Amino acid sequence: MRIPIDAVGRVVIPKPLRAELGITGPTEVELRAADGRLELTIPDVPARIEERDGLPVIVTEQPMKPLTVDSARAAIDRSRR
């Protein structure tokens, strides 16, 4: 897919690609040059595991949207491709 870069270097990621990668709203991405290409990745969310009521719980260092059944199914579908 070819997309334009404007005069100040901005690139718009097309909606189908954002949907496929699960990019919604304002977010940060990582961009690097590798072998003559630009690689854009979605960074991992820093997290730690805490024990609560005797069970391990993943606690993120930044607020996250709640996981819905639909978003979980979409993530599973993306991982199967």
* Residue extents of the structural domains in the chain: 15-80
Cite the DSSP H helix spans in the chain.
15-21, 69-80
User: Would the pTM count as exceeding 0.95?
Assistant: no
- Whole-number pLDDT of residue 67: 83
* pLDDT in the model for residue 34: 93
pLDDT, tens digit only, all 81 positions of the chain: 889 999 999 999 999 988 888 788 788 889 999 999 999 888 888 889 999 999 999 898 888 878 889 888 888 887 887
- Alpha-carbon distance 78 to 81, whole Å? 6
What is the Cα–Cα distance from 81 to 62, expressed in whole angstroms?
A: 29
